[in-house]
């Protein structure tokens, strides 16, 4: 019995020694679970950070693309707006030109009537009271007609004493003059008119050839006649 007790004591000592031999730094299962949770949380944070970076990068690329599209659309809008503005101005000019052409055509047809009134005023010399009354009557009509032309923007040219300009005048006659230099207008044969600054009808004029031209022309004609006479005399002698 004593032996059995000693054996039990020995067994207890062995158990105690085995417990003493267990490593002190061995962790419990709870500690392992906590470490695993921390590692998983760290990995999740790294994944979320990477996804956030990718999202920001994609948003930056998308923003850059949208800015380029916006700039392209803005340039297209500016071009379309400029083209429309030019089209509107061109249409307005075309309408104005068409209006001027129609008005010019109508007024040009009226101008010969004005010319006839002016010729009548210059040529007719009414003497009797009845003729004077008639003269005043059609002169009143003439003034009304001239006033209507003024309201439409028609203005007469003043050409006598002005230098000849083919853009405004049409030379019908040329003659020498001691009063005016060459290419200056001596007389207005038919009045010209402006319409809104443009030529409605050219003025028919007589233009000066300058002083001394008449004598030179007579000498040229005289020399020509004398030459013809000499040639005829030579021909008769040869015969």
pLDDT digits (tens, 9 = 90+) for 80-94: 999 999 999 998 888
> For residue 31, what pLDDT is reported?
57
For the record, the structure tokens of 41 come out as 């949380």
CA distance 173 to 199: 21
User: How far, in Å, are 81, 113, 127, 129, 140 from residue 124 at the CA level?
Assistant: 63, 16, 9, 14, 15
Helix (H/G/I), strand (E/B), else coil: 22: coil
* Highest-scoring range by mean pLDDT, 8-12, 20-24, 100-104, 167-171: 167-171
* Farthest CA pair distance, the chain: 200
CA distance 21 to 28: 17
- 13-52 per-position pLDDT tens digit: 554 444 444 444 444 555 556 656 666 666 777 777 878 8
Spatial contact of 159 and 116, defined as CB atoms under 8 Å apart:
no
Domains of the chain by start residue, with CATH: 107-152 (no CATH), 154-234 (2.30.22.10)
Are β-strands 193-195 and 169-175 bridged in parallel, bridged antiparallel, or unpaired? Answer: unpaired
CA distance 18 to 12: 10
DSSP 196: T
Report residue 215's pLDDT band, with 50, 70 and 90 as the boundaries: very low
Report residue 191's pLDDT band, with 50, 70 and 90 as the boundaries: very high
List the single range of 71-75, 128-132, 143-147 with lowest mean pLDDT.
128-132
> For residue 99, what pLDDT is reported?
82
* Highest-scoring range by mean pLDDT, 20-29, 95-104, 222-231: 95-104
């Amino acid at each position: 019995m004593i032996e059995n007790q000693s054996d039990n004591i020995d067994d207890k000592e062995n158990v105690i020694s085995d417990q003493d031999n267990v490593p002190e730094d061995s962790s419990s299962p709870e500690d392992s679970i906590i470490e695993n949770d921390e590692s998983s949380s760290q990995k999740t944070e790294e994944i979320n950070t990477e996804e956030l970076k990718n999202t920001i990068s994609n948003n930056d690329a998308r923003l850059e693309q949208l800015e380029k599209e916006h700039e392209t659309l803005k340039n297209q809008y500016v071009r379309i707006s400029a083209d429309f503005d030019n089209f509107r101005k061109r249409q307005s000019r075309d309408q104005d030109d068409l209006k001027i052409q129609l008005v010019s055509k109508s007024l040009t047809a009226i101008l010969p009537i004005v010319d006839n009134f002016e010729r009548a005023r210059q040529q007719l010399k009414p003497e009797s009271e009845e003729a004077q009354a008639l003269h005043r009557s059609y002169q009143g009509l003439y003034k009304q007609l001239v006033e209507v032309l003024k309201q439409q923007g028609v203005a007469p040219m003043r050409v006598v004493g002005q230098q000849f300009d083919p853009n405004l005048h049409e030379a019908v006659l040329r003659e020498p003059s001691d009063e005016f230099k060459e290419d200056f207008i001596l007389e207005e044969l038919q009045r010209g008119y402006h319409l809104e600054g443009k030529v409605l009808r050219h003025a028919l004029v007589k233009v000066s050839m300058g002083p001394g031209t008449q004598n030179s022309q007579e000498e040229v004609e005289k020399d020509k006649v004398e030459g013809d006479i000499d040639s005829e005399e030579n021909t008769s002698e040869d015969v």
